Structure 1
Amino acid sequence: MNARPVVAILGAGAAGTLTALHLVRESGRRSTPVEILLVDPADRWGRGTAFGTTDDQHLLNVPAAGMSALPEDPSHFLHWLQDQQPDAHAFTFAPRRTYGRYLDEQLTAAARDILVETTVRHVRATVTDVRRDGARVRLGHAGSPDGLLADAVVVAVGLPTTGEDWAPPALRDSPFFVTDPWAPGALDPIRRDRTGPADVLVVGTGLTAVDVLFSLAGTRPDRRLHTVSRSGRLPSRHADRLKPAAIPDISGWGARLEEIRTAVEQHLTEVAKTTGDWRPALDGLRFRVAELWQRLPEEDRTTFLLRDAAAWNRLRHRIPTESHERLDGLVGSGEIVLGAASVTAVEPLAHGGLRVATTDEAVREVGWVVNCTGPRADVRTLGNPVLDDLLRPRLDGALAVTTTAGMGLATRDGRLVDGRGRHDAPIWTLGALRRGELWESTAVPEIRQQALALAVGVLEAVAPLPRRLADGTWVPGHHPVARPRDPLGLPLSTTAEAAAVFNAGLERLMRLQSGAEELFAQAAALDPDFALAHAALALLGHEAGADTDVTAALAAARRAARTNADDRERSLVSVVGLRIREPRRAGADALRRHIAAYPRDVLAVSAAVPTIAFSGVIDVQQDVWALVENLAPAYGDHWWYISLLAFVRQDQARYDEAALLAESALSCEPSSGHAVHALAHVHYETGQHETGRAWLDHWIDAGGRSASHRAHFAWHAALHELALGDVEAVRARFARQLADVTGVRGLVDTASLLWRWQVAVTDWDTTVPSPPTAAPVLAAVGSQLLGQPETPFIALHAAVAHAANHDAASLDSLGTRCRRSRDEASRSAVAPVCRGLAAVLREDWSTAVTELSTALPGLTAVGGSAAQREIVEETLLLALWRDGRTDVAREVLGDRVDRRHSPLDERRLRLTAG
C-alpha cells in the first residue's frame, strides 16, 4: 500500500490545475505528503478549453488584478505578467494563452519547490468508469486493466461539449457546420477558404462568439460575419478602470424570484445613481449570488434560466474596452452584421456552403456556420464517460445526482451527494459542475476559492491532522470525543452548545460587526466554566468600552482557567489580565509571547494589531507590519488575515496591493469590516474621493448596517467630502451619522472631524460656515477619556477634541499630563501637539508652527492611521499660512497634490500663491 494518500484529479484545465496547486501548497503547510495525479489526455496541464487557445486576440474577460491563482496574494498574476510585460497594470486584459502558461508554471514550480514528498504526475488518459473500492475509489481507463486506485477523487472535467440542439438536422449533418469552434484547427478551413461563399454565420453573441469573430475578421476582403442570437446583442464592456464592487445587504431580499428581481433592479439603480455606473452593483452582487440562488425554489430557478439568464450573462460576463471598441469598429464598417434571430431552416448550396433562413425572415447564403451557443447546459447530455458513470444507477444508488435542470452535480461543500443522499464517498467536484447549486461557478475568482476549500477538505478527509483532547491526549483527527474548535481550528474547553455561540461572537468580532459581547456573555452563561468567554468579555470591556463588568469577567475567567482550560486558554486569560493592568508594557510583552506560541488565536491577534476596534500593542509602525506579515504561514488564504494584511499594505503606501487584497477578502467574506476599512484608506490616500464617498455610502447603508464602528466609516466618507470641498455634504453627514456618537468613537471620529472642518476649510475661507459646536460631543465622550486618556492615541484625540471645543485651558492641563507621562510617545509627540493646538487657539502662530513641527516626526508611535494623524499636519498648514510662511505651506500642499488629487488642497495651494 502506498504510504502517501493518492488524490486523482480528473481534468487538467484551470479547475484541475488550481486544485492541484492548492493541494500542493496545503500539503506543504501541513507537512503532509500526498501523491497527486492529474488525469487528462491533454498534452499539458493548465490549458483546457478556456486557456488552450493559441490566438493572442483571445483576451481574458477579467483584468489581471482578478486573476491571481492565490487568494492571499491577489497581485500574484499581475506581478508575474509585469515580469514579461513591464507596461502591464491592474486593469490589463492579458491573452488567455498567457494565463494558461501562468497556471502551468505555478503548478510546476510549487511541485518542484515543496519541502515534503508531495508529487504531481500527469496521467494522459481518459477515465471511463468510477467505482468505490472499500474506502477508496478505483478509476478505470483504457491504458490500464486495473485502473487507478485513489484515496480521493476530484472531478474537474468542466463542460467541454457544445450544445447543438437548436440546429436543424440539415445543418448538423453539413460539413460546413463548425459544431465546436474550440476543437483544434476547427476554424482553419474557414480562414483558408477562398472559393466558396465568403460570408460566415456565427450563431450566438456571447464570449465565444467574440473570440470567433476576432479570429475570422479580415480573413477575406469580401467576407461579412453575420451574427445572430435571440437578443442580437454582444456582451457589455468593462469600465475604463477598476472600480470597487458595491456589495449589497441581501438580508431583506426575500426568497422568491420576483422579490429578488425587484431588489436587484433597485440595487442596480441606486448604485448607478450614486456612482454613475451600474458595473460596481453587478460586481458586488456577484459576491452574493450563491446565497441568493440557494434561497430560490426549483421552479423559480427554472424561470430564471428561461427569462433572466441571458440578460444576466450579458451584463455579468463583460469584455475589455479594447475588445468592445474593436467590435464597434467592425460593426460600423459592415464587416460584422448583428441580428436578433434564430435559425429555422438550412439547405446546401450547389457549389458548397449553405442557405440559411432565420426568424427575422432573412435568407443568408454563407460559406460556413459556426456554433457559438456555448456548452450544453445539462450534464446528462454531455456524453462525458466520467459523468455518465457517476450518474449511472447502481444497486446502492448512483454515485452522483444532478441539481437544477441538470446544470451540475449535487454536493455538500463540494463533496458529491449520492443517489441515497449520502456524502461519504471520497469524491469532490468544483467549477462548472457546481453551477446547479451556485449558479456563478465558472470564472477563475470563484474557482480558485473552491479549489482552496476543496484542497483543505480533501486533506482533512485523507490525512487529518491529529487533535488534542481536554486531558492533553493526542488522538487521530476524526476521534469522536475531540473537543469543539473555534473558526481557526483551535480547541475550546467547553460544551458544544457554548462553543457554537462563542464562535458566532468571534466571527462577529472578526467581521467588525456589533453583537460580539452579547454572544460571549451568552456563551459564558451556557457554561460558567468557559474561561475564554469570560476573558473575551473582559477584553472587549477594557478595549472597546463594551457594557460589561471588566473586573468580574476577569475574575470569572481566572477561576474557570484554574479548573477547565488548556495551556493556550490559560495563557490568554493571563494575557488579558496583564493587558488590563498594564497594556503598554507587561501586557504588550505577554501578548507578543502568546501570539508567538499560538499564532492562530484570533482574539489575541485582534488585540495586538492596531485597528478600529483595538489599540494594539506596538509603538513602532514597522513592528506592526512585521507582526502581521509573519503570521502568513499560520493563516495562509484566510479572509480575516488577508483583511489585516490589506490594512498593512495601505499603511506601507502599497495601495494597489492593498486594494486587491481587500477585494479578495471581500470576495470570501463580503462583511469583512477590516477589508472595507483598508479599501476606505486606499480611496482616500489615492485621491479617489468621488468613488470612495459613493462606495462607502452604499456600504454603510447596506453591508455595514451591522458594523460595530459605523461612525468611523462615516468619518472616512466625510474626509472625502472635505477633500472635495463639499461642506454641506459634511454637515448633512454629521447630523445624520456622527452627531450622536458617544465614547471613544465620539472622540476619535466626531470631535476630530469638527476640528478638521475648522482648520482645513473654515479658517481658510471665512465664507464657509463654521462647524457645529463641539460641547455636546465632548459631553457624550465623557471626562475620563478627555482628562485621563490611557494611551497616546486617545490623548492625541483628546487634545484635538479640546481644540474643537476652543478650550485652551484643558489643552494646557492635558499637555502637562503628557509631559509627565512615562510613555515616550506621549512626551515627545502628544505634549507638543497640546502646546501647538493651544497656541492656535490663542493665535500665537509662530509657537504653533514650532510645536506642531516638533510633534510630526514622532506621530507614528502614537498609533492610528496616516489619515487620522493628518489632523496635525492640517493644523500646521493653517499655522504656516497665518504666520506668513507661505513658501513652506505651498511646499507641503504641493507634495500632497502630487501624491493625491484633492480640490481642497488645490484651492489652498492657490490661496497661498495669492
Structure 2
Amino acid sequence: MSRSSRRPRVVIVGAGAAGSLTALHLVREAGRRSTAVEVVLVDPADRWARGTAFGTVDDRHLLNVPAAGMSALPQDPSHFVAWRRRHGRSGDTYDFAPRREWACYLDDTLAEAIGQADGVTVAHRRTRATGARLLERGAAVTLADGGELVADAVVVATGLPAAGHDWAPQSLRDSAFFVPDPWAPGALDVVRRSRTAPTDVLLVGTGLTMVDVTLSLADCSDGAHGAPDRVVHAVSRNGRLPHGHAPALRPAAIPEVDDWGSSLDGHRERAAEHIAGVRRATGDWRPAVDGLRFRLATLWGRLDEDDRRAFLARDAGAWNVLRHRMAPSSDSTVRELRRTGRLTVGAGEVLDAEPLPRGGLRVTLGGRALDVGWVVNCTGPRLDVRTLGDPFLDDLLRPRDGRALATVATAGMGVRTANGRLVGEHGRPDAPLWTLGALRRGELWESTAVPEIRTQALALAADVLHAVAPFPRRLADGSLVPGTHPVARPRDPLGLPISTTAEAAAAYNTGLERVMRLQSGGEQLIREATQLDPGFAAAHAALAMLAHEAGAAGDVKASLAAARAAVRKRGDDRERSLVDLVGRRVRDPRRSGARALLRHIDEHPRDVLAVSAAVPTIAFSGIIDVQRDVWDLVERLAPAYGDHWWYISLLAFIRQDQSRFDEGGLLAESALSCEPSSGHAVHAMTHVLYETGQHATGREWLDHWVAESGRSADHRAHFSWHAALHELALGDTEAVRRRYYSQLAPPAVTGVRALVDSASLLWRWQVTTSAWDPTEAVPPVQPVLLATDPELLDRPGTPFTALHAALAHAAAGDVARLHALAAWCRGATEAPTRRVVASVCYGLAAACEDRWADAARTLATTLPELVTVGGSAAQREVVEETLLLCLVNAGDTDAARALLDGRLDRRPSPLDDRRRDALSLGTGVAVDAGAGVTA
C-alpha cells in the first residue's frame, strides 16, 4: 500500500501502563474525531497493559493510590471503581486494589475502546524496538526481529527503567543468591522455596518495592513456600519507611504558589509553611502533600539546574517518603511484622558478601555481619537513562548527522520535550517523536504515577492526531485550508476560531479563562481586547452577555451594537450566531432568547460562554429551570469537551446534584488537579462535603482554598456562605458571627449576593439556632435589605431570586411585604414562581405571625416541588429548616423527629443530633420568629 493511500500510523514503543494509556486515548480521540488511524504497540510482553509496575501476579501487591484515583479516563473518575464492581470486587472508592487488577482493567478498557472506534486498529508487535530514523515524512522504527515499522508518529513509552544495582559490591553481584530485579518472572518464588540456606532475607532499599517484597516473603499462608521463622531485614542509606495513607479519603489542600519564587531555599521554606499550616488546621499533613503534588511541575520548572540537582541530593528521599505512601492494610501489616520482630528496618550499607557453606550469604553491613539466604535489590529504578543500556533510547540519544533525536533532561532523568514532543540536539521539537511518563521526570519531576500519565496520554493523543491527521482550518476570509496551513485565525481556549488579531486574542483568551475559573477581572481583559481590535465581534458580544447574564459591569446596549457592527464586516457562522443570540436574550430572554441560546449550543457546543449562560451556576442564573433538563444538557456535551477541566467542573456539580457524591467529589478533584483555581470545581466539592456531612473537613478545606488558589476568586461571598453552613452544622455560631461580619455583611457584599447569601444565612441562622436557644443573638438583617435593589426584593425576575426575597422579608419579620411578594408571584409567568414561591411566602408569613400549624402545612406542601425553583439542595434546605421549626412550635414533635431522622440518615450533623436529643427530652423552643432577625 502506498504511503499516500494508507491510514496514518502511530507506533508506540512500550506496551505497559504509559503505552497502553496512550493507545487508549489515541483510539478514543480518533473515534470522537471520526479519524481513521492505525496504532502499533511494540513490546516483547505477552500482553499489553502489564509492564514492570502492573505485571505482578501477587494479590498482596497493592496499588499505592486508592481506586478513586486510578481511572484511565480523567473525565470519568469512577471508571475503575465501576469496573471492579462489575467484576465482583469492592466498589469502595478508597479501596487499594491489587496491582494486577488494574492491569486487567486497562487491558479491558483498551479492548472495549477498540471495539467501539470505527476505522481505528491496534496491533501488538511482540518484539523490541532497537532504533529510529527520520524519513522525509514521519519516522521508521527498527525492530529486534529484523523488521522495520514506518510511522507518521512515534511515541516513546518505555516506562520506568530497570532496577539499578551499582551500589552492590562485586562479590554480591557475582552471587547466585543475589536477586538484582525482584520483578523478574519467578524471582521471588525461588527465594521463598529456599530450603538449606538461612531463612532470613536482606532487602536493600526501604521504599514501596521493599514493602511489596516483604509482604510476599513474610506471608506464611502457603505451607509449601512459607517460612514462619523468616525475618526480613531491610536497610537503606536513611532507613526511612514510606508512610501509610490516611484511614479515610480527604480532599487535597492545593497551595497557591505564584509568590513562592524560583529558588530551592524559597520552595523549601514555603512548602514547610504550607504543610505546617494544613496540619494545624486539619490535624493531618497528608492533604498538604497531596495538594503540593499538583504544583510540583510548576515549582520544578522554576528551578535552575543547580537547584534541581541539590533537590535530588538532599530532598528527594524525604519527599518520596511523604509522597509515595503505603495502602492502609499494607501499613498495618508492616507495623505488625515489625512489632513481632519478623521485619527489621534500619540504616546501613552493604560493604561485602561471602558465600555460606550451605547456601546463602554472610553480608557485611558497616560494623556487623548478617547471615541471610538471599539479598534482594529493592532500591528502585536507575535515575540516569544514559546508563540503562536500552538500545532504543541509546539510539535516540546518539548523534547522527551532527545532531541527536533526543537530549537528556536534568541529571539524565529522561529527555527534554516541548509538552511531550522530543526536543532534538538542535533545540527544536520538529521530529514526529513524543514521550510521556518516566521519561519526562527530568523536566516535571512528578511523572510516574497513573494520575499524571493518563493526563499526559490524553494531551499527547490530541497532539499526535493533530499532527498526523489535522482538521482543516478556516482563514479570516472564510476559506478552508489544510490543517497544517501556517496562516489561520487565532483560537480561543477551547479551540474555536476567533476573528481578530493575535494581540487582541491573547487578551481575550486570558479574560475568558478567568471567567471560566470564576476569577475576577475577566471582563476587563475582554474589554481590553475590544480596545486592541475594535472590530472584534466575539469580544463585544461576550461583554454584552456577561453584563446581561452575569451582572458584570458594562453597557449591554453599547456592547451589543458594537458586536453587530463588527460581525457584519468580519465574522464566521459561530460569531454571527453568538451576536444574534445575545440580541435575542436581551430582547426576549425567556422565550426566543432561550431557544436561540440552546440552538447555538447544539451547533457550537464548545462555546463556553453560551453554555455558561444556559446552565445555572454561581455566576449565571441560567435559562433552564427543570433540574433534569440541566443534567441532560451537561451530559450531552461530554463528547465535545472530553476531559477539559472546565467541563469536568460543571459535570462534578451535576453529579452531586444527582446525589452521586462520590463521583462528584472525584470529578472535582480531577478538575482541580488540572486547574486548582477552578471555582466551579470548588463549588461542587463544597456541596459534596456538605451533603455527606463532612463539616469540619469542608470548612477547613474551603478556607484553605479561598486563602490560596481562590485569592482572586469572584463570588467569594458564596464560598463564605458555604463555610458558614458548615459552621452552623457544627454548632460553632461564634465562627459564623466572625465570618458574617468579616465576609458577608454589607458593604462587603451587596446586590444579588447580599440577597442570596447574606439574607438567607441570617434567616437560616435564626430558625436553626437562635429559635432553639433564646440567648443566641443573630445580626440585624436591615443593612442587607438596604444593600439590595428593591426590584430584587419586591419584583424578582426568577423563581430562585423570588424565593430568596421571601427569606429576606421573613428575616425582617415583614409580613406585609411577604404578602405583597406573594401577590407578585401569583401573577408571574413562570409556574414555579406562581405555584411554589407564592406558597412559601404564605408559609413564612404564617410563621412570622406564630401560626405554626398553618405555616407547617403550607411549607410541607412546597417541599416536593421546591426543586423546580432552582438553586442547589443546600440553598433550598432553608425551607425544610423553617418547616422543622414550625413543626416543633406547633407541638408536632413526632413529625419533627421524623424529619430530623431522615436528615440524619442522609448525612451526619452535630446540629441535627443536638436538636434530635432536645426533642427526645421534650425540650421545646421559645422564640417569636415573627419578631424578625434582630441584634
TM-score (norm 2): 0.96
Counterpart AA for 2:480: W
**What pairs with 1:36-115 in structure 2 (closer than 5 Å)?**
36-114=39-117
State the SS of the aligned residue for 2:787: helix
**What pairs with 1:729-740 in structure 2 (closer than 5 Å)?**
729-739=735-745, 740=748
Match of 2:692 in 1: 686
1:367 to 367, 373, 388: 373
Match of 1:535 in 2: 541
User: Does structure 1 residue 775 correspond to structure 2 residue 782?
Assistant: yes
How far is 1:766 from its partner?
Answer: 1.2
Match of 1:910 in 2: 917
Q: What is the distance in 2 between the residues matched to 1:858 and 1:102?
A: 42
Q: What is the distance in 2 between the residues matched to 1:468 and 1:399?
A: 33
Q: What do the CA deviations read for 1:813-838 (whole angstroms, capped 9, x no partner)? A: 22221111122121111112222222
Match of 1:857 in 2: 864
Match of 1:500 in 2: 506
1:868 to 871, 875, 879: 875
User: Which range moved further: 160-169 or 433-442?
Assistant: 160-169
User: Does structure 1 residue 763 correspond to structure 2 residue 771?
Assistant: yes
Match of 1:435 in 2: 441
User: Which range moved further: 582-591 or 616-625?
Assistant: 582-591
Contact 2:17 2:159 in 1 (8 A): no
Q: What is the distance in 1 between the residues matched to 2:554 and 2:376?
A: 69
User: Does structure 1 residue 413 correspond to structure 2 residue 414?
Assistant: no
Counterpart AA for 1:490: L
User: Does structure 1 residue 472 correspond to structure 2 residue 478?
Assistant: yes
Match of 2:926 in 1: none
Match of 2:28 in 1: 25
Counterpart AA for 1:439: W
**What pairs with 1:246-265 in structure 2 (closer than 5 Å)?**
246-265=253-272
- Give the alignment's Cα RMSD to 1 decimal: 1.3
Match of 2:171 in 1: 170
Counterpart AA for 1:747: L
State the SS of the aligned residue for 2:371: strand
Contact 2:296 2:446 in 1 (8 A): yes
Match of 2:223 in 1: none
Counterpart AA for 2:132: V
User: Which range moved further: 73-82 or 665-674?
Assistant: 665-674
Q: What is the distance in 2 between the residues matched to 1:366 and 1:487?
A: 60
Q: What is the distance in 1 between the residues matched to 2:205 and 2:880?
A: 59
Counterpart AA for 1:124: R
Q: What is the distance in 2 between the residues matched to 1:801 and 1:342?
A: 71
Q: What is the distance in 2 between the residues matched to 1:423 and 1:868?
A: 51
User: Does structure 1 residue 578 correspond to structure 2 residue 584?
Assistant: yes
Q: What is the distance in 2 between the residues matched to 1:745 and 1:22?
A: 42
Q: What is the distance in 2 between the residues matched to 1:543 and 1:843?
A: 39
Q: What do the CA deviations read for 1:640-686 (whole angstroms, capped 9, x no partner)? A: 11111111111111111111111111111111111111111011111
Q: What is the distance in 2 between the residues matched to 1:751 and 1:579?
A: 29
Contact 2:10 2:40 in 1 (8 A): yes
Q: What is the distance in 2 between the residues matched to 1:248 and 1:280?
A: 10
Match of 1:330 in 2: 337
Q: What is the distance in 2 between the residues matched to 1:910 and 1:711?
A: 33
Counterpart AA for 2:807: V
Counterpart AA for 2:786: A
Contact 1:469 1:482 in 2 (8 A): yes
Contact 1:689 1:720 in 2 (8 A): yes
Q: What is the distance in 1 between the residues matched to 2:850 and 2:589?
A: 37
Contact 2:84 2:90 in 1 (8 A): no
Q: What is the distance in 1 between the residues matched to 2:385 and 2:151?
A: 24
2:848 to 841, 849, 853: 841
Q: What is the distance in 2 between the residues matched to 1:308 and 1:752?
A: 49
Counterpart AA for 1:45: W
Number of aligned pairs? 910
Match of 1:893 in 2: 900
Counterpart AA for 1:854: T
Counterpart AA for 1:452: L
State the SS of the aligned residue for 1:357: strand
How far is 1:846 from its partner?
Answer: 2.9
User: Which range moved further: 453-462 or 538-547?
Assistant: 538-547
Q: What is the distance in 1 between the residues matched to 2:280 and 2:264?
A: 24
Q: What is the distance in 2 between the residues matched to 1:222 and 1:900?
A: 48
Match of 2:277 in 1: 270
2:350 to 334, 343, 349: 343
1:244 to 222, 241, 251: 251
State the SS of the aligned residue for 1:858: helix
Counterpart AA for 2:93: A
Match of 2:158 in 1: 157
State the SS of the aligned residue for 1:46: coil
Q: What is the distance in 1 between the residues matched to 2:837 and 2:190?
A: 77
Q: What is the distance in 1 between the residues matched to 2:590 and 2:368?
A: 80
User: Does structure 1 residue 727 correspond to structure 2 residue 730?
Assistant: no
Match of 1:459 in 2: 465
User: Which range moved further: 632-641 or 804-813?
Assistant: 804-813
Q: What is the distance in 2 between the residues matched to 1:194 and 1:41?
A: 34
- 1:486/1:224 CA distance change after superposition, 3 Å: same
- 1:348/1:81 CA distance change after superposition, 3 Å: same
User: Does structure 1 residue 744 correspond to structure 2 residue 752?
Assistant: yes
Q: What is the distance in 2 between the residues matched to 1:885 and 1:590?
A: 50
Match of 1:5 in 2: 8
How far is 1:344 from its partner?
Answer: 2.0
State the SS of the aligned residue for 2:412: coil
State the SS of the aligned residue for 1:121: strand
Percent pairwise identity: 65
Contact 1:194 1:220 in 2 (8 A): no
Match of 1:799 in 2: 806
1:674 to 680, 690, 695: 680
State the SS of the aligned residue for 1:144: coil
Q: What is the distance in 2 between the residues matched to 1:128 and 1:890?
A: 73
Counterpart AA for 1:742: T
Q: Which runs of 5+ in 2 are unaligned?
A: 221-225, 923-935
Q: What do the CA deviations read for 1:566-618 (whole angstroms, capped 9, x no partner)? A: 11111111211222233222221111111111111111001101100101111
How far is 1:326 from its partner?
Answer: 0.6
User: Does structure 1 residue 117 correspond to structure 2 residue 119?
Assistant: yes
How far is 1:346 from its partner?
Answer: 2.4
Counterpart AA for 2:330: S
Q: What is the distance in 1 between the residues matched to 2:285 and 2:591?
A: 51
User: Does structure 1 residue 630 correspond to structure 2 residue 639?
Assistant: no
Q: What is the distance in 2 between the residues matched to 1:680 and 1:802?
A: 27
**What pairs with 1:190-229 in structure 2 (closer than 5 Å)?**
190-217=191-218, 218=220, 219-229=226-236
Contact 2:52 2:160 in 1 (8 A): no
How far is 1:482 from its partner?
Answer: 1.4
Q: What do the CA deviations read for 1:888-913 (whole angstroms, capped 9, x no partner)? A: 22211111011110111122222333
Counterpart AA for 1:313: N
Q: What do the CA deviations read for 1:191-228 (whole angstroms, capped 9, x no partner)? A: 11110122211000001111111111143233211100
TM-score (norm 1): 0.98
Contact 2:205 2:234 in 1 (8 A): yes
Q: What is the distance in 1 between the residues matched to 2:663 and 2:179?
A: 43
| Structure 1 runs of 4+ with >4 Å offset | none
User: Which range moved further: 185-194 or 893-902?
Assistant: 185-194
2:400 to 394, 401, 418: 394
Q: What is the distance in 1 between the residues matched to 2:89 and 2:128?
A: 40
Q: What do the CA deviations read for 1:296-355 (whole angstroms, capped 9, x no partner)? A: 111111111111101110110001111011111111111111111111222333433222
1:544 to 532, 541, 550: 550
Contact 1:111 1:118 in 2 (8 A): yes
2:135 to 133, 136, 147: 133
Q: What is the distance in 2 between the residues matched to 1:893 and 1:349?
A: 72
How far is 1:86 from its partner?
Answer: 4.5
Counterpart AA for 2:125: V
Contact 1:53 1:97 in 2 (8 A): yes
